Amino acid sequence: MLKVKKGFVYLLFAILVVTQLYPLFWLLMYSLKTNEEILSGSFFSFPKLPQWHNYAEAYTSGSYLKYLGNSVLVTGVTLLAVIILSAMTAYAISRFKWKYGPYVLLLFLLGMMIPMQATLLPLMIIFKNLDLLDTRWSIIIPYTAFALPIAVFILSGFMRAIPTDIEESAFMDGASVYRIFRSIILPISLPPVMTVCILTFINIWNEYIVAATFISSENLKTLPFGVYTFVSQYSVNYGNIGAFLIMGALPVIVIYFLLSERITKGMVAGAVKG
Protein backbone atom coordinates (compact mmCIF):
# COMPACT_ATOMS: atom_id res chain seq x y z
CA MET A 1 0.00 0.00 0.00
CA LEU A 2 2.86 2.33 0.87
CA LYS A 3 4.52 1.67 -2.50
CA VAL A 4 1.28 2.48 -4.29
CA LYS A 5 1.03 5.81 -2.46
CA LYS A 6 4.65 6.65 -3.28
CA GLY A 7 4.10 5.72 -6.91
CA PHE A 8 1.03 7.92 -7.07
CA VAL A 9 2.98 10.83 -5.57
CA TYR A 10 5.85 10.34 -8.03
CA LEU A 11 3.38 10.17 -10.91
CA LEU A 12 1.73 13.39 -9.77
CA PHE A 13 5.08 15.17 -9.54
CA ALA A 14 6.08 13.83 -12.97
CA ILE A 15 2.89 15.22 -14.48
CA LEU A 16 3.51 18.59 -12.84
CA VAL A 17 7.10 18.69 -14.13
CA VAL A 18 6.04 17.83 -17.67
CA THR A 19 3.22 20.39 -17.74
CA GLN A 20 5.53 23.10 -16.40
CA LEU A 21 8.54 22.40 -18.62
CA TYR A 22 6.77 21.47 -21.84
CA PRO A 23 5.65 25.05 -22.75
CA LEU A 24 9.24 26.23 -22.42
CA PHE A 25 10.50 23.33 -24.52
CA TRP A 26 7.80 24.00 -27.14
CA LEU A 27 8.78 27.69 -27.29
CA LEU A 28 12.42 26.69 -27.77
CA MET A 29 11.47 24.44 -30.72
CA TYR A 30 9.22 27.21 -32.04
CA SER A 31 12.12 29.68 -32.03
CA LEU A 32 14.24 27.34 -34.19
CA LYS A 33 11.70 26.85 -36.97
CA THR A 34 11.04 28.70 -40.20
CA ASN A 35 7.73 30.44 -40.87
CA GLU A 36 6.80 27.66 -43.28
CA GLU A 37 7.23 24.97 -40.62
CA ILE A 38 5.27 26.95 -38.06
CA LEU A 39 2.39 27.79 -40.42
CA SER A 40 2.21 24.20 -41.67
CA GLY A 41 0.56 23.25 -38.38
CA SER A 42 3.28 20.88 -37.17
CA PHE A 43 3.29 22.30 -33.67
CA PHE A 44 4.78 19.25 -31.97
CA SER A 45 7.52 18.42 -34.45
CA PHE A 46 11.21 19.19 -34.20
CA PRO A 47 12.67 21.73 -36.65
CA LYS A 48 14.07 20.13 -39.78
CA LEU A 49 17.08 22.43 -39.67
CA PRO A 50 17.52 24.60 -36.53
CA GLN A 51 17.31 28.27 -37.50
CA TRP A 52 19.89 29.70 -35.08
CA HIS A 53 19.96 32.92 -37.05
CA ASN A 54 16.53 33.70 -35.53
CA TYR A 55 18.35 34.58 -32.32
CA ALA A 56 20.82 36.83 -34.11
CA GLU A 57 17.99 38.65 -35.85
CA ALA A 58 16.02 38.94 -32.61
CA TYR A 59 19.05 40.45 -30.92
CA THR A 60 19.75 43.03 -33.62
CA SER A 61 16.39 43.82 -35.24
CA GLY A 62 14.49 43.63 -31.96
CA SER A 63 16.67 46.24 -30.21
CA TYR A 64 17.20 43.70 -27.46
CA LEU A 65 19.82 45.67 -25.54
CA LYS A 66 17.75 48.88 -25.47
CA TYR A 67 14.63 47.13 -24.19
CA LEU A 68 16.69 45.04 -21.80
CA GLY A 69 18.30 48.16 -20.33
CA ASN A 70 14.90 49.79 -19.80
CA SER A 71 13.59 46.64 -18.10
CA VAL A 72 16.65 46.41 -15.84
CA LEU A 73 16.32 50.06 -14.83
CA VAL A 74 12.60 49.87 -14.09
CA THR A 75 12.95 46.55 -12.25
CA GLY A 76 15.93 47.75 -10.22
CA VAL A 77 14.24 50.94 -9.04
CA THR A 78 11.05 49.03 -8.23
CA LEU A 79 12.93 46.40 -6.23
CA LEU A 80 14.78 49.05 -4.24
CA ALA A 81 11.54 50.91 -3.46
CA VAL A 82 9.69 47.71 -2.51
CA ILE A 83 12.46 46.50 -0.19
CA ILE A 84 12.80 49.82 1.65
CA LEU A 85 9.09 50.56 1.99
CA SER A 86 7.96 47.03 2.82
CA ALA A 87 10.74 46.46 5.35
CA MET A 88 10.01 49.73 7.17
CA THR A 89 6.25 49.07 7.14
CA ALA A 90 6.64 45.48 8.33
CA TYR A 91 8.98 46.63 11.11
CA ALA A 92 6.46 49.22 12.31
CA ILE A 93 3.56 46.75 12.18
CA SER A 94 5.30 43.80 13.81
CA ARG A 95 7.67 45.41 16.33
CA PHE A 96 5.91 48.55 17.53
CA LYS A 97 3.15 48.16 20.13
CA TRP A 98 0.30 50.25 18.77
CA LYS A 99 -3.36 49.33 18.52
CA TYR A 100 -3.72 50.13 14.83
CA GLY A 101 -0.98 47.75 13.70
CA PRO A 102 -3.29 44.79 12.86
CA TYR A 103 -5.65 47.09 10.97
CA VAL A 104 -2.82 48.51 8.87
CA LEU A 105 -1.69 44.97 8.05
CA LEU A 106 -5.27 44.08 7.10
CA LEU A 107 -5.35 47.11 4.81
CA PHE A 108 -2.25 45.86 3.01
CA LEU A 109 -3.70 42.35 2.75
CA LEU A 110 -6.81 43.77 1.12
CA GLY A 111 -4.51 45.26 -1.49
CA MET A 112 -3.61 41.72 -2.57
CA MET A 113 -7.21 41.24 -3.73
CA ILE A 114 -7.21 44.16 -6.18
CA PRO A 115 -5.98 43.28 -9.69
CA MET A 116 -3.62 45.79 -11.22
CA GLN A 117 -5.64 45.93 -14.43
CA ALA A 118 -8.69 47.23 -12.55
CA THR A 119 -6.81 50.41 -11.65
CA LEU A 120 -5.65 51.40 -15.14
CA LEU A 121 -8.35 54.00 -15.78
CA PRO A 122 -8.05 55.89 -12.46
CA LEU A 123 -4.27 55.72 -12.68
CA MET A 124 -4.42 57.11 -16.21
CA ILE A 125 -6.39 60.13 -14.95
CA ILE A 126 -4.07 60.65 -11.96
CA PHE A 127 -0.88 60.39 -13.99
CA LYS A 128 -2.28 62.70 -16.65
CA ASN A 129 -3.03 65.37 -14.04
CA LEU A 130 0.44 64.93 -12.53
CA ASP A 131 2.21 64.96 -15.93
CA LEU A 132 3.62 61.49 -15.28
CA LEU A 133 2.27 59.77 -18.38
CA ASP A 134 4.92 58.40 -20.72
CA THR A 135 7.59 58.45 -18.01
CA ARG A 136 9.26 55.59 -16.19
CA TRP A 137 7.56 56.69 -12.97
CA SER A 138 4.18 55.89 -14.51
CA ILE A 139 5.03 52.16 -14.37
CA ILE A 140 7.43 52.14 -11.41
CA ILE A 141 4.77 53.55 -9.06
CA PRO A 142 2.06 50.94 -9.88
CA TYR A 143 4.62 48.11 -9.84
CA THR A 144 5.79 49.20 -6.39
CA ALA A 145 2.29 49.70 -5.01
CA PHE A 146 1.05 46.28 -6.09
CA ALA A 147 4.18 44.49 -4.89
CA LEU A 148 3.98 45.98 -1.39
CA PRO A 149 1.07 43.90 0.04
CA ILE A 150 2.70 40.48 -0.41
CA ALA A 151 6.08 41.93 0.63
CA VAL A 152 4.67 43.39 3.86
CA PHE A 153 2.85 40.12 4.55
CA ILE A 154 6.02 38.03 4.20
CA LEU A 155 8.32 40.38 6.13
CA SER A 156 5.91 41.15 8.96
CA GLY A 157 5.37 37.44 9.58
CA PHE A 158 9.11 36.92 9.88
CA MET A 159 9.89 40.03 11.95
CA ARG A 160 7.12 39.29 14.44
CA ALA A 161 9.04 36.25 15.69
CA ILE A 162 12.41 37.96 16.18
CA PRO A 163 13.20 37.96 19.94
CA THR A 164 12.72 41.35 21.56
CA ASP A 165 15.80 40.83 23.74
CA ILE A 166 18.01 41.80 20.81
CA GLU A 167 16.34 45.17 20.41
CA GLU A 168 16.20 45.82 24.13
CA SER A 169 19.94 45.21 24.50
CA ALA A 170 20.72 47.51 21.59
CA PHE A 171 18.39 50.18 22.98
CA MET A 172 20.10 50.00 26.37
CA ASP A 173 23.41 50.57 24.59
CA GLY A 174 22.05 53.80 23.12
CA ALA A 175 21.08 52.63 19.63
CA SER A 176 18.25 54.51 17.99
CA VAL A 177 15.25 52.90 16.31
CA TYR A 178 16.77 53.57 12.89
CA ARG A 179 20.08 52.05 13.93
CA ILE A 180 18.36 48.94 15.28
CA PHE A 181 16.34 48.58 12.09
CA ARG A 182 19.36 49.07 9.81
CA SER A 183 21.98 47.09 11.73
CA ILE A 184 19.96 44.33 13.41
CA ILE A 185 16.51 43.74 11.93
CA LEU A 186 17.42 43.99 8.24
CA PRO A 187 20.41 41.59 8.38
CA ILE A 188 18.34 39.05 10.32
CA SER A 189 15.51 39.38 7.80
CA LEU A 190 17.70 38.71 4.76
CA PRO A 191 16.01 35.37 3.78
CA PRO A 192 12.48 36.82 3.45
CA VAL A 193 13.92 39.97 1.84
CA MET A 194 15.48 37.78 -0.85
CA THR A 195 12.14 36.04 -1.31
CA VAL A 196 10.43 39.41 -1.79
CA CYS A 197 13.07 40.44 -4.33
CA ILE A 198 12.70 37.29 -6.41
CA LEU A 199 8.90 37.26 -6.39
CA THR A 200 8.75 40.96 -7.29
CA PHE A 201 11.29 40.50 -10.08
CA ILE A 202 9.38 37.59 -11.61
CA ASN A 203 6.06 39.45 -11.47
CA ILE A 204 7.18 42.67 -13.15
CA TRP A 205 9.90 41.55 -15.57
CA ASN A 206 7.51 40.47 -18.33
CA GLU A 207 4.57 42.69 -17.35
CA TYR A 208 3.03 44.25 -20.44
CA ILE A 209 -0.46 45.70 -19.87
CA VAL A 210 0.53 48.52 -17.50
CA ALA A 211 3.61 49.40 -19.55
CA ALA A 212 1.58 49.44 -22.78
CA THR A 213 -1.03 51.69 -21.16
CA PHE A 214 1.28 54.35 -19.75
CA ILE A 215 4.34 54.19 -22.04
CA SER A 216 4.31 55.34 -25.66
CA SER A 217 7.84 56.61 -26.29
CA GLU A 218 10.06 54.11 -28.05
CA ASN A 219 13.06 54.93 -25.85
CA LEU A 220 11.16 54.05 -22.66
CA LYS A 221 9.59 50.76 -23.68
CA THR A 222 10.53 47.59 -21.83
CA LEU A 223 11.45 44.11 -23.04
CA PRO A 224 7.96 42.74 -23.89
CA PHE A 225 7.53 45.48 -26.52
CA GLY A 226 10.36 44.02 -28.61
CA VAL A 227 8.04 41.29 -29.87
CA TYR A 228 6.12 43.79 -32.00
CA THR A 229 9.27 44.62 -33.93
CA PHE A 230 8.69 41.44 -35.95
CA VAL A 231 5.03 42.15 -36.69
CA SER A 232 4.34 44.19 -39.82
CA GLN A 233 1.16 44.98 -41.70
CA TYR A 234 1.47 42.07 -44.11
CA SER A 235 3.73 39.54 -42.40
CA VAL A 236 4.82 38.16 -39.06
CA ASN A 237 8.21 36.57 -38.39
CA TYR A 238 7.17 33.89 -35.91
CA GLY A 239 10.61 32.35 -35.50
CA ASN A 240 12.15 35.66 -34.47
CA ILE A 241 9.28 36.25 -32.04
CA GLY A 242 9.94 32.89 -30.41
CA ALA A 243 13.66 33.64 -30.17
CA PHE A 244 12.97 37.06 -28.63
CA LEU A 245 10.58 35.51 -26.09
CA ILE A 246 13.22 32.96 -25.09
CA MET A 247 15.83 35.71 -24.69
CA GLY A 248 13.40 37.80 -22.66
CA ALA A 249 12.47 34.96 -20.34
CA LEU A 250 16.03 33.72 -19.91
CA PRO A 251 16.98 36.12 -17.06
CA VAL A 252 13.87 35.10 -15.09
CA ILE A 253 14.53 31.40 -15.62
CA VAL A 254 18.20 31.66 -14.62
CA ILE A 255 17.49 33.73 -11.51
CA TYR A 256 14.63 31.49 -10.44
CA PHE A 257 16.62 28.26 -10.72
CA LEU A 258 19.66 29.77 -8.99
CA LEU A 259 17.67 31.25 -6.11
CA SER A 260 14.61 29.00 -5.90
CA GLU A 261 15.87 27.50 -2.63
CA ARG A 262 15.94 30.98 -1.08
CA ILE A 263 12.31 31.50 -2.08
CA THR A 264 11.29 28.31 -0.28
CA LYS A 265 13.34 29.11 2.82
CA GLY A 266 12.03 32.66 3.00
CA MET A 267 8.39 31.62 2.62
CA VAL A 268 8.73 28.81 5.17
CA ALA A 269 10.56 31.08 7.63
CA GLY A 270 7.85 33.72 7.36
CA ALA A 271 5.05 31.16 7.70
CA VAL A 272 6.52 29.22 10.62
CA LYS A 273 7.89 32.14 12.58
CA GLY A 274 4.82 34.25 11.89
Contact 182, 141 (CB under 8 A): no
Q: What is the pLDDT of residue 274?
A: 42
The tens digit of pLDDT for each residue in 31-82 reads 888 888 877 776 677 888 888 888 988 888 888 889 999 999 999 999 999 9
Confidence grade of residue 271 (pLDDT, cut at 50, 70, 90):
very low
Give the alpha-carbon dihedral of 206, 207, 212, 215, to 10 degrees. -90
Tell me, what's the pLDDT at 1?
64
154 within 8 A of 267, measured Cβ to Cβ: yes
Please determine, for residue 248, whether its predicted confidence score (pLDDT) is greater than 50.
yes
112-161 residue pLDDT tens = 888 888 889 999 999 999 999 999 999 999 999 999 999 999 998 888 88
Q: What is the pLDDT of residue 117?
A: 82
The yes-or-no verdict on residue 262 having pLDDT over 80 is no
The residue type at 164? T
Q: Would you place residue 264 in the very low, low, confident or very high pLDDT band (cuts 50, 70, 90)?
A: low
Residue 224: closest CA among 249, 203, 250, 199: 249
Of 255 and 91, the one with more pLDDT: 91
| Domains, the chain | 74-237+251-273 (1.10.3720.10)
Query: Model-level pTM greater than 0.85?
Result: no
236 - beta bridge partners?
231
231 forms beta bridges with 236
The pLDDT > 90 percentage for the chain reads 22
Higher pLDDT, 239 or 42: 239
Q: Over range 216-236, report the average pLDDT.
A: 82
Half-sphere exposure of 166 (CA within 13 A, CB side): 15
